[in-house]
Amino acid sequence: MHSPSGTRPKKRLACDRCHARKLRCSSDLDGCTRCLGDDLVCTYSPALKVGRPSKASMAGREIQQPQSVSDAAFYGISDGDAVTADSGISMPPSPPQLGDSCITDHTALFSSFDFTNTLDNFNATNPFLDMPMDEDLWPLATSPPVSSNDPNIDPRLCLTNKTTNASSPLDRLSSLQQELLRTKLPPAHTRGVGTKPRPAKYTEAAMRPVQETLGAVTELLQQYITRHPQRGIVIYIVSGLHAVRLAGVPRCRPEDRSAVEINLAGDCGGLPIETSVSHIEDVSVQLEDKSIMELLNSVVISGPPQAVTGGCTLDDSSLLHEESLLNGQWVQAQSGKRFDVEDPGSGQIWATSPTNQICDVDKYVESSEAAFQSYRHINPRQRAKILLKWHELITNARQDIAKIVVFETGKPMAEALGEVDYALGFAWWFAGEAERIRGSIAQPSISDRRTFVIKQPIGVCVALVPWNFPVAMIIRKVSAALAAGCSMIVKPSPETPFSVMALADLALRAGLPPGVLNVISTDNANTPPVSETLCKHPLVRKVTFTGSTSVGSIVARHCSHGLKKVTMELGGNCPFIIFDDGNLEQAVAALMILKWRTAGQACTHANRVYVQSGVYERFGQMMVEATSKLRVGHGADSSSTMGPLTTARGVDKVNKHVQDAVSKGGKILCGGKRPENLNGYFFEPTIISGMTSDMLTTQEEIFGPILGLYKFETEEEVVKKANDTSMGLASYFFTRDVSRTWRLLESLEAGMIGMNTGNASCAESPFGGIKMSGYGKEAGKDVAIEEYLVQKTGTLTVEDGPKL
C-alpha cells in the first residue's frame, strides 16, 4: 500500500464509483474520497489528510487542484492556483525531537499501543464498502464497542462510544494513552512564509455541513502510524448517533461530513475535529499550553453530559428521525441544509433537522391534497380505529417520547410523561368524535320542500405549533383533523421537531395512509416565510395556530388572502385570585403546578397572582416554603423537579422582568437569578411581592418562572384588575362562597375559568380563549371537530303523490 519515501502517489483520473476526478490518493480503495469519506489518512503523505488536506504542503510538492468552487473555498485558494512551499500557505510541522517536552520516548510510547485501528489494516475487501447506509448500520450506533478482531466490523469502528454506559471517553483507553491525551501541546500557529505567526482558529469557512445527527456520541478514533510517529494522535469529535455510521463507513456523502485540520507547530501533526458549523461559529480555541484532553473539553462536543453517558437513548431508536416526513417517506430539504437543535439543559447541540424553505412547500401541500382526496372517503369507524391504534402505540412508546421531550424542551421526565398522558386523552376522545359527526334534516314552511344539512371534511389543514407542549399540541390538533377526514401538514417549532416526527412515525404504524400527515421542519430564520407560504397556498383550506398574539395576528393576515378557516390559540395574561375565605393549602398546591410546571412556559399559567389582604403575607410565606423544595436541574436527572427555560431568549426576558419589578419597588422573596452551578437556560423560581400595575409582568405574558404577588381588598377591585388586559385565555380563583363563584364565572373575561382548581383543560371540554387570546376551540364535544368540517345545505322539492 505504501510507495517508497519521496515517491508521489499515482493519480487516478476517475473514481470507480462516481466517476469523479479524485481530490487525492485513496491508496488501494476503489473510489474517491467523495464516495469513501474524508477520514482516511493519506498513507503516502501522512502530513496530509486524504481529500481534505490542510493548506500545508510538503516542500516541493503541489496540492492537487480542487475540483469545484466549494473545494476551492474549503482550501482557501482560488481556481487555477497552485499551492507550493512558496505560496505563503502554512507549512506542516517539523518532526519532533526525542526529549521534547511533549513526548519523551516515541519508541516506548508507541510500543504499547494497539495498532489494529490503523489504516494499514483497512483494505478494499472490507464488507462495509458495499453496505448500504441505511438501517443495516443502525445497531452499531447503540451497541457497545466491539473487538477490532471481528472480521465483520470496520476496524475504525473500534472506538469509545458514549452511548454506552462508559462514564468517560477515557474509560477504555490504556493509562499510557490517557497520559498522551494529557500531554501539553506546543504553541499552535498557522505559519506562512513571510508572515508573522497567528493563533490557529476554527472557522466556518473550513467546515462542511454536519452529518445527520440523532443524539450525542463522542468518538475517540486513534490512528497510530508506526513509521511516522511524528504524526502523533489523531482525534475525531463526531456529532450524533449516526456518527459511527459516518466515521466508520467510507461510503458517505461529502455534504454529510465536516472536518477541519489544525496544524500544530509541534509533535501532534494533525488534529482533525468533526462538528457542526454552528458549534464552530462561536468557538475560537487557542491551543497554546493545552493538552489534547483540555482541548476536547474546550471545544463544543455535541450533546450534554447526560447524553454523553447515555442521554437520549431510546428503547425504540427508530422513533428518532432527523428528516422531515413527506408522503410516508423520511426526506431531506431540497437544499440539503440542516439546523441544530439544542438541549436547553446544557445549551449544547444534540441533533439536527432539515431546513426546509419556500421551495419545499409545494410538494408537501400537493402530497397532502392527493392523500386527502382518498382519505376523505374512509368511513368514520375506520378513522376511529386508526386513532385508537395510534393511541395504543403512543401509550406503548410513552417513555421514549417523553425522553425526546426532555431533551427538546428541558422538562423533567415526570413532566414530560405527564404531557404524554394528558395528550393521549385527545386521541381517545377524537376517535369517538369521528363517529359523532351528524347532519340534520328540516321541513321548511313550504310544504313540498325538505332541507338537509351534511358535514364534510374541509380539506388540507396546516398546524403551526409552538415548543412548550409539542406532544399535546400535535395530538390535539392532528386527532381532530384526522377524525374529521382531513389531511394535515404540521410545521413544528424549530426547538422541538423530533417529538413531532416520532408521533408521525407512530401514526404511519397505526395504518394512517401516506401523505395524510406530513411534517415539514425548518429553522427559526425560515419559519416566517415557510409559514406564510403554507398559509397562502391555494390548496390549504384550514390553519390552526398556537403561539403569541403578535404572531397570531400575522398568521391571520396571511390566511385572510384566501379567506381560510383559522383557529387561533394565542397568548394569555392569566390572573390567579385567592380570597380570604379560600382554601390556602389547595391554592398553593394548584399554583405550584400552574406556575412552575414547564418552568412557567405555558399560555395558561398564572401570570398575576392576586391575594386578598387578609391572607396576603401568610400565602406568600407558604409559597416561598413550597418553592424552596424545588430542585432545578436537567430534565434527565431524576431528582430534578423544575427544568430550564427552552430558549436563551426566554432567560433574557425573565431577567428583564425581574430587574423591571425590582426597579419599581418589588421585593424578591426567593430566586431572582440564574443558578451558578448549572449550564443551560436555567433561572431560579422567583417570587416577588409588592407588584404594581406599571410593571412589565402585569402588562405582558411572562412565559417564565416568575410569580408576582399583588394585594387587593374587594371582589369588585380584583375583577376590574383581572380583566384589565387585552388577553382573555384563562382565569382562576379560590373561594368557598358559592354565590361569589357564580358571579366570578360570569364576570371574569376569559375563555376558561378555573374555580378552586388550577386545571382548566381536558379533552372533554372546549379549549380556547376570547379577546386577543384568539378564537375557535380545540377540544370538547362537537365544537373542536367542527373546526375541520364544512356544512352543505341541500334543498329537495317533493312532488305531490297519492295520499297514503
DSSP line for 48-86: SBSSS--S---TT--PPPPSSHHHHHHHT--TT----TT
Virtual torsion, Cα 692, 697, 701, 704, nearest 10 deg: -140
How many of the other CB atoms lie within 10 Å of CB of 267? 24
Q: Which residues pair with 774 in a beta bridge?
A: 569
569 is catalytic: yes
603 is catalytic: yes
DSSP line for 274-310: ---HHHHHT-----TT-BHHHHHHHSPPSS-HHHHTT
Q: Are 344 and 680 in contact (CB under 8 A)?
A: yes
559 residue type, one letter: C
Of the residues 261, 569, 701, 749, only one is catalytic, namely 569
CA distances 420 to 231, 322, 473, 507, 673, Å, are: 52, 21, 10, 15, 31
DSSP line for 1-27: --PPTTPPPPPPSS-TTT-PPPSS--T
Of the residues 35, 274, 603, 778, only one is catalytic, namely 603
C-alpha cell at 686: 422567583
Order of all β-strands in the sheet with 324-326 = 329-331, 324-326, 517-519, 487-491, 460-464, 540-546, 565-569, 774-775
HSE-CB at 379 with a 13 A cutoff on CA atoms is: 2
DSSP line for 411-441: --HHHHHHHHHHHHHHHHHHHHHHTT---EE
Burial (Cβ within 10 Å: 0-12, 13-18, ≥19) of residue 442: exposed
Residue in 601, 586, 617, 603 with CA at minimum distance from that of residue 727: 603
C-alpha cell at 302: 455535541
How many of the other CB atoms lie within 10 Å of CB of 178? 13
Instruction: Collapse the DSSP code of 94 into the 3-class scheme (helix H, G, I; strand E, B; otherwise coil) and give the result.
Output: coil
Residue 518 belongs to what H/E stretch?
strand 517-519
Active site residues: 569, 603
